[in-house]
Amino acid sequence: MNTPISKSHIEKAHQLIASYIHRTPVLSSSSLNSKSGCTIYFKCENFQKAGAFKSRGASNALFHHLEEAFKLGVATHSSGNHAQALARVAAYAGVKAHIIMPDNSNPLKVAAVKEYGGLITFCKPTLQSREETLKEIITQTGAIEIHPYNNAHVIAGQATAARELLEKIPTPDIVIAPVGGGGLLSGTALACHYFSPDTKVFAAEPIQANDAWQSFKSKKFVPSINPDTIADGLRTSLGSTTFPIILEHVNEILTVSEQGIINAMKMIWLRMKIIVEPSSAVVLSAILEHPEYFKGKTIGAILSGGNADINKLPWNEH
Amino acid sequence: MNTPISKSHIEKAHQLIASYIHRTPVLSSSSLNSKSGCTIYFKCENFQKAGAFKSRGASNALFHHLEEAFKLGVATHSSGNHAQALARVAAYAGVKAHIIMPDNSNPLKVAAVKEYGGLITFCKPTLQSREETLKEIITQTGAIEIHPYNNAHVIAGQATAARELLEKIPTPDIVIAPVGGGGLLSGTALACHYFSPDTKVFAAEPIQANDAWQSFKSKKFVPSINPDTIADGLRTSLGSTTFPIILEHVNEILTVSEQGIINAMKMIWLRMKIIVEPSSAVVLSAILEHPEYFKGKTIGAILSGGNADINKLPWNEH
């Protein structure tokens, strides 16, 4: 689906999903501001339904196809948060959700999908295995595919997080979001483009999964091949819908180290008393590792999710 | 100091400290509501300045004595959160803060007091040693004692947390707070008495530190003698100012198990994505261990602080 996403597409998405999502708070921390030398407003999607921004896109896509979905079910592949989000909203709507998950997914996320009543099929942790397994399930069931990011309705849904942020903090100098498959980033970029055109859009990506950075710099799609990063939500490749939006509307992608992600995550836990997962912490990590872009500026930073495994904290590993 | 605390004392405290504290959010969780069978509004003092409600009382007491404090300094004994709170507001006001801490205090809390510039003297983890050491320091310096709970200004300050809760949720059936020395509980009880007289006031206490429960039931002061509980903020005895207020205005004290505290803490982390310390989790633990008091009711629950040691989580210990 290559339809460009309009301003009214985002506004309508926001109306459609309003009753199924949280309008999450925007928090700031004086100690993180003083540490970073800028003023950061964190959009807390870690408090979102099912623990991540993914509930926005999944809800918008599902309700766009509600009648068909009700008959045939929905299906997707996801390493975790989109899976939970789709399973949750599907259960809410009385729709069957077929979820393909890589067999190295975070056990907490697998358990949550099961709790929401999602029907899980495990696959190998490669894009090829995920896509093939999904295809099989769709052939068997006729379920409607709701791709985790390469889908205009999903992108329009994800855009509503930045839209809410801009309603509270109208013209930040920079908005920064993590980038994995690019659903959140392309939605964020479009929301800034339509609702605060002077705001620059930055992305943060683990240097050990820097396919988006490579794609962005070379302007040619570079796939993500089994990357090794703690930020488990950011291991996927860009999509054919998200990549062109990113090329057009994103100003810069900044890469961050694994240790930087862990430090930033710990800092957010300690200073803000909120739980974020590693994929969220990349935004603070980028601000701290690349201060030249941020000093003295007003920043909107999207904390994408809170589904961390609290039985296994990265700062306790040896 | 045995002055009773009036409604206007609490209102004035609220005005006096307004610029030095956060008006903390009130959060709820649909999954915890469905698990508990009641509607719980959590007053999130874990997001308070210095990580706990203690900033309210410490600020109110310090600003009541500002001129003297400026000359002679302030002094207190505290196992942690009051220490941090007093050190923080003292640094803000340019006042020296002498802090007596038991030598088994949470290392995170000791480090935070140092970071705020507090002057620490360690003592043995007994009430006697705390009081003797404090007396020595006061004799040496002339510093004004700001007791962590047995002080009318401190109690009036702590009362502002429940007052804010009642501004958002006007007439809950029950408000529940943890009880250690009774500063938060007596303040909470007075705030309910003045601002929502039909609301019942409950306290939650670890069964392994049940001195307040014993005192309440026998109507005679029972001291806390080296109790062994994970809820490190609740190891202290009631005071001569807090106990009579509790006897008069608290409806019930409920005790909870150590495992119940750990389970409740984990549940709050997982479901609400916020970090609370064990002393906060006792309120949810009481609701879950004593459902007969709470089913179907609207509850205000005060989450007292967020200074958990994230290097050492109780559910990871064997």
- Give the count of Cβ contacts less than 8 A between chain A and B: 39
Say if domain B7-52+158-317 classifies as CATH 1.10.1040.10: no
CA distance to partner chain A, nearest, from residue B50 (Å): 9
- Rounded to two decimals, the pTM is 0.93
Domains of chain A, by residue range, sit at 7-52+158-317, 66-145
pLDDT tens digits for range A33-53: 999 999 999 999 999 999 999
Give the pLDDT score at A253: 98
- Chain A contact set for B310 (CB, 8 A): 266, 269-270, 313, 315
C-alpha distance from residue B315 to each of A27, A105, B64, B125, B267 (Å): 28, 22, 42, 25, 11
Angle between helical axes of B211-218 and B242-249 (0-180°, round to 10): 60
Say if residues A135 and A147 touch (Cβ distance below 8 Å). Answer: no
pLDDT of residue A126: 83
pLDDT tens-place string over residues A216-263: 999 999 999 889 999 988 998 999 999 999 999 999 999 999 999 999
Residue B219's SS3 state is: coil
Strand partners of residue A252: A202
Note whether A316 contacts B: Cβ–Cβ < 8 A.
Answer: yes
Query: Is residue A196 within 8 Å of A163, Cβ to Cβ?
Result: no
Task: Show residues of chain A in contact with B306, CB under 8 Å.
Answer: 273
Compute the nearest-CA separation of A137 from chain B (Å): 31
Classify residue B5 by its DSSP letter: P
- Paired with A200 in beta bridges are A174
Domain A66-145 indexed as CATH 3.40.50.1100: yes
Chain A neighbours among B 5-34 (CB < 8 Å)? 25
ipTM: 0.91
Rounded CA gap, B305 and B37, in Å? 24
Contacts of A164 (CB under 8 A, 6+ apart): A23, A24, A26, A43
As given in the structure block, the two tokens for residue A81 are 């948060």
How buried is residue B226: exposed, middle or buried, by Cβ count under 10 Å (0-12/13-18/19+)?
exposed
Asked if the C-beta of A91 comes within 8 angstroms of chain B's C-beta atoms, the answer is no
pLDDT given for residue B106 in this prediction: 80
Rounded Cα distance, B275 and B317, in Å = 18
State the nearest Cα–Cα gap between A310 and chain B, in angstroms: 8
Q: If DSSP codes are grouped into helix, strand and coil, which group holds residue A175? A: strand
- Per-residue confidence band for A181, with pLDDT thresholds at 50, 70 and 90: very high
Going by C-alpha positions, the residue among A305, A184, A206, A304 that lies closest to residue A250 is A184
Give the closest of B266, B273, B311 to A316, CB-based.
Answer: B311
Q: How far apart are the CA of B309 and the nearest CA of chain A, in angstroms?
A: 9
Cα distance from A119 to chain B (closest Cα, Å)? 21
Q: Do B311 and A306 touch (CB under 8 A)?
A: no
pLDDT band for A1, please (50, 70, 90 cuts). Answer: very low
Which pLDDT tens digits describe chain B residue by residue (318 residues)? Answer: 445 799 999 999 999 999 999 999 999 999 999 999 999 999 999 999 999 999 999 999 999 999 999 999 999 998 789 999 999 999 999 999 999 998 988 887 899 899 999 999 999 988 889 999 999 999 999 999 999 999 999 999 999 999 999 999 999 999 999 999 999 999 999 999 999 999 999 999 999 999 999 999 999 999 998 899 999 889 989 999 999 999 999 999 999 999 999 999 999 999 999 999 999 999 999 999 999 999 999 999 999 999 998 988 999 764
- Tell me how close the Cα of B249 comes to any Cα of chain A, in angstroms: 32
The three state secondary structure string of A61-99 is: HHHHCHHHHHHHCEEEECCCHHHHHHHHHHHHHCCCEEE
- pLDDT at residue A317, as a whole number: 66
Residues B316, A316: C-beta atoms closer than 8 Å: yes
CB contact B318 to A (< 8 Å) = no
Q: Going by C-beta distance under 8 Å and a sequence separation of 6 or more, which residues neighbour residue A96?
A: A73, A74, A90, A119, A141, A143
Token pair recorded at residue A212: 């988006």
Could you tell me if B111 lies within 8 Å of chain A, comparing CB atoms? no
Rounded Cα gap, residues B318 and B303, in angstroms: 27
Q: What is chain B's length? A: 318
CA distance A277 to A45: 11
A270 at B interface, C-beta within 8 A: yes
Q: Which of B88, B273, B310 to mutate to test the interface with A (most CBs of A within 10 A)?
A: B273
State the pLDDT confidence band at A3, using cuts at 50, 70 and 90. low
Residues of chain B found within 8 Å of residue A47, distances taken between Cβ atoms: 272-273
Q: Which two tokens stand for residue A69?
A: 């979905």
DSSP string, A205-239: EEGGGTHHHHHHHHTS-----S---S-GGG-SPP-
Q: Does B273 touch chain A (CB under 8 A)?
A: yes
- Residue holding tokens 């062109």? A244
- Mean of all residue pLDDT scores within chain A: 95
Nearest to B275 among A274, A315, A316 (CB): A274
What is the nearest CA distance from B259 to chain A, expressed in angstroms? Answer: 16
Q: Which amino acid is at B288?
A: L
d(CA B257, CA B263): 10
Identity of the amino acid at A234: L
Of B51, B273, B315, the CB nearest to A51: B273
Q: Does residue A309 register a pLDDT over 90?
A: no
Equal fold, B7-52+158-317 vs B66-145: yes
Q: Which of B51, B274, B316 sits opposite A275 (nearest CB)?
A: B274
B28, two tokens: 């709820």
